[in-house]
Chain A
C-alpha cells in the first residue's frame, strides 16, 4: 500500500513537472511579444516608416531605407529562390529517377543545415570578392540560398501527396506529361507549395548573418543594386549594440515591426495550408 502510494505520488509529481515545462516554453513567445510591444510600440510612428536614420546624437529619424532595403533583398532572393525551388521540386517528384534525385535531396538538406554565417562567407567569396563591392545582389543571393531548400522540399513533398489517379486520368485523356503536371498536378498541390514559399520568405526576412558582409549596411538610400543596402535585421543589430539611447529605442521599434511581419507570414502560411486541405477533403 505504501509502495503504491509512493508510485502514485511520483506519477503526480512528474506529470505536473511536464505540465510546468509546457507552460514555461509556451509562455516564452508571449514574453517576447510582450517585451517588444512594451518597449517598441511608442516608437513605431510615421517617422519610423518615412525618415532616414540620423547620425548618433541627433534625436528622431526612422528606418525607411532599411524597410525598403529588406523588401528589395527579399525580392531578389525570391526571384532566384522560388523558381529554383519550384522547378527543382517538380523534377524530384515528377521526372526523377533514383540516384540523382536522392543526391539532390541530400544536398538540399545539407544546404538547409549550413549555418547562415557560412552562407554569408560563400556569397562573399563568389560575388563580393569578384565584383570588389558589397552589394544588394550579394545579399539577395545569400538569402536565396537559404530559401531554396525550403521551397524545394515543400514542392516535392506536396506534389508527391497528389494521388496518382489524377495523373493517370489526365494522361489517359491524351495530355502530355508537361501539360499534366502544369494543368493537374501542380494546381492540386498549389496551397501546399504556396505555404512552403511563404515559409521560405518568412525565414529569410529575419536573417542577419548572411547580410553582414554581403549587403553590409547603409545609412542612406542605395541608388542601385550594386551598392551596399540597408536592411531591417542588420539595422536592429547595429542599433542594438550601439551605445546611444535613441538608437536603442529605434532598435526596439524595428524589432517589433520585423517580428510582427514574420509572425504574420507564418500565420498566413498556416491559414493557406488549412484552407487547402479543407478544399481537398470536400
Chain B
C-alpha cells in the first residue's frame, strides 16, 4: 500500500489503488457495523419471537394469566401464580442468606485482608461463579437434599414448627433446598461487585472517621458501607436477577409441585423449572404458548432488575472516582 502511494502519486492507476484502500476502510466499517447490528437485531428478534409464540395464551387468558392459580394441562387451564410465587420465594430466601454472608465477606476482603490475600480469595470466589449450574444441582440432589431430609428439616420443625413456614413432612426437596442452593450460587456476585464498590470509596473517608476516634468497625459500617451503598444494592439486584433466571440447579431440587404452599419445606415450582420440565412434553398450542409466556414473564422480571442494577453500579463507581 505505502509503495503505491509513495512511488507514483501522479498516475491515475495509483490513485485508483489509493482510493481502493480508502474504500477498504469503508468496507471494514460496513462489515463490522453489520456484525454489531446483528447483536442488536437478534435481541429485538428474541423479544418479538417470545411475543408471537405466546399469542395463544395471551389471547385466551389475558392478564389473568399472571394471577391464575391453576395449572392444569388436561383442562387447558394455565395460570402463572404458583410459579411466580415459587420464583420470588426461592430468590428471596437465597438473598436472606447470601446478602449478609456476601457483604460480610466483601467487607473483610476490602477493608481487612492484605491485598494479596484479598485478590486470591476474590479469584476463588469468582471461580465459584463459573461452576456450571448443573453441577450445583448434582451436589444438591445427592448431598444437600438428604442432609435436609434427615437433619435440617426435622430440626427446623422441632424448634420453629409452630410457625406456618416450617410445617409439613420433610421431603428434602422444596422451596428451602432451592433457596439454599441459590444462596450459594448468588454470593459470588455480591462479593465481587460489593468489594469493587467498597474499594472505590476514597481513603480520606476512612482516615477521617478513624481520626475522629471511630473504631475500625465503626468507620467501616457508618462511613465506608453507606458511601458504597448504591454499588452494594446494585450487586444485590444483580444477584436477584441471577437467582430468578436460574434453571438447572433449582429444577433438580424444587420438587415439582404446581400448588402454592406457605411452608418452606413443601415442594413447589419456579418459572424456569416448569419450562425446563414441561416444554418438550407440551402438547397443544395453548399449553406451549403458556410456557412461552412464562418465559416472557421471566424475561421481563430479569430485564427490569438487570437494568436497575446497572444504573446503580454505574452511579457508585462514577461518584467514587469523582471524589478521589
Cβ of B280: which chain A residues have Cβ within 8 Å of it? 212-213, 216
Closest chain-B Cβ to A258's Cβ sits at a distance in Å of 6
Closest chain-B Cβ to A46's Cβ sits at a distance in Å of 23
For the complex, is B223 an interface residue (Cβ under 8 Å from A)? Answer: no
In angstroms, Cα B133 to Cα A126, docked, is 25
Given the contacts A35-B143, A176-B21, A7 and B5 also touching, CB distance less than 8 Å:
no
In the bound complex, do residue A209 and residue B39 qualify as a contact, i.e. CB atoms below 8 Å apart? no
Cβ of B205: which chain A residues have Cβ within 8 Å of it? none
In angstroms, Cα B43 to Cα A148, docked, is 11
In the bound complex, do residue B127 and residue A263 qualify as a contact, i.e. CB atoms below 8 Å apart? yes
Interface of chain B: mostly helix, strand, loop or mixed: helix
In angstroms, Cα B39 to Cα A148, docked, is 8
Cβ of A101: which chain B residues have Cβ within 8 Å of it? 36
The size class of the interface chain A forms with chain B is 35 or more
B301's nearest neighbour on chain A, judged by CB, is A115
Given the contacts A117-B245, A126-B49, A10 and B132 also touching, CB distance less than 8 Å:
no
For the complex, is B211 an interface residue (Cβ under 8 Å from A)? Answer: no
Given the contacts A91-B35, A121-B50, A255 and B138 also touching, CB distance less than 8 Å:
yes
In the bound complex, do residue A117 and residue B276 qualify as a contact, i.e. CB atoms below 8 Å apart? yes
For the complex, is B315 an interface residue (Cβ under 8 Å from A)? Answer: no
Cβ of B25: which chain A residues have Cβ within 8 Å of it? 176-178
For the complex, is B75 an interface residue (Cβ under 8 Å from A)? Answer: no
Q: Which of A197-223 contact B (CB under 8 A)?
A: 202-203, 205-209, 212-213, 216
Closest chain-B Cβ to A145's Cβ sits at a distance in Å of 7
The stretch of A61-69, A71-79, A80-88 in contact with B is A80-88
In the bound complex, do residue B108 and residue A91 qualify as a contact, i.e. CB atoms below 8 Å apart? no
Closest chain-A Cβ to B241's Cβ sits at a distance in Å of 6
For the complex, is B86 an interface residue (Cβ under 8 Å from A)? Answer: no
B185's nearest neighbour on chain A, judged by CB, is A28
A87's nearest neighbour on chain B, judged by CB, is B35
Given the contacts A121-B275, A240-B141, A108 and B39 also touching, CB distance less than 8 Å:
yes
In angstroms, Cα B70 to Cα A242, docked, is 28
Per-position 1/0 for B215-257, Cβ under 8 A of A: 1111001000000000000000000010011111000100000
Cβ-neighbour of A113 out of B101, B127, B246, B306 (below 8 A): B306
Per-position 1/0 for B105-141, Cβ under 8 A of A: 1011101110000000101110110111111111101
Per-position 1/0 for A168-199, Cβ under 8 A of B: 00000111111101000000000000000000
Cβ of B38: which chain A residues have Cβ within 8 Å of it? 84, 88
Interface size for B (C-beta < 8 A) is 89
Cβ of B130: which chain A residues have Cβ within 8 Å of it? 202-203, 206, 262-263, 266
For the complex, is A47 an interface residue (Cβ under 8 Å from B)? Answer: no
A212's nearest neighbour on chain B, judged by CB, is B276
Q: Which of A132-163 contact B (CB under 8 A)?
A: 145, 148-149, 152
A261's nearest neighbour on chain B, judged by CB, is B132
In angstroms, Cα B1 to Cα A173, docked, is 11
Cβ of A124: which chain B residues have Cβ within 8 Å of it? 279
For the complex, is B24 an interface residue (Cβ under 8 Å from A)? Answer: yes
Given the contacts A18-B104, A176-B1, A181-B28, A206 and B133 also touching, CB distance less than 8 Å:
yes
In the bound complex, do residue B134 and residue A233 qualify as a contact, i.e. CB atoms below 8 Å apart? yes
Given the contacts A125-B53, A262-B131, A270 and B123 also touching, CB distance less than 8 Å:
yes
Cβ-neighbour of B247 out of A24, A208, A240 (below 8 A): A208
Given the contacts A177-B28, A248-B142, A118 and B276 also touching, CB distance less than 8 Å:
no
Cβ of B137: which chain A residues have Cβ within 8 Å of it? 237, 240
In the bound complex, do residue A95 and residue B217 qualify as a contact, i.e. CB atoms below 8 Å apart? no
In the bound complex, do residue A25 and residue B299 qualify as a contact, i.e. CB atoms below 8 Å apart? no
Cβ of A83: which chain B residues have Cβ within 8 Å of it? 35
In the bound complex, do residue B32 and residue A90 qualify as a contact, i.e. CB atoms below 8 Å apart? yes
For the complex, is B68 an interface residue (Cβ under 8 Å from A)? Answer: no
Q: Which 9 A-B pairs have the closest CB atoms?
A: A206-B132, A115-B245, A21-B104, A91-B32, A18-B108, A113-B306, A11-B215, A87-B35, A88-B36
- Can you list 16 residue pairs at the A/B interface with Cβ under 8 Å? A11-B217, A25-B101, A25-B187, A25-B191, A26-B124, A36-B135, A108-B43, A113-B245, A113-B306, A115-B244, A115-B245, A117-B298, A177-B25, A179-B1, A212-B279, A259-B132
Residues of B within 8 A of A (CB): 1-2, 5-6, 21-22, 24-25, 27-29, 31-33, 35-40, 42-46, 49-50, 52-53, 100-102, 104-105, 107-109, 111-113, 121, 123-125, 127-128, 130-139, 141-143, 184, 187-188, 191, 215-218, 221, 241, 244-248, 252, 272, 275-276, 279-280, 291-292, 295, 298-299, 302-303, 306, 310
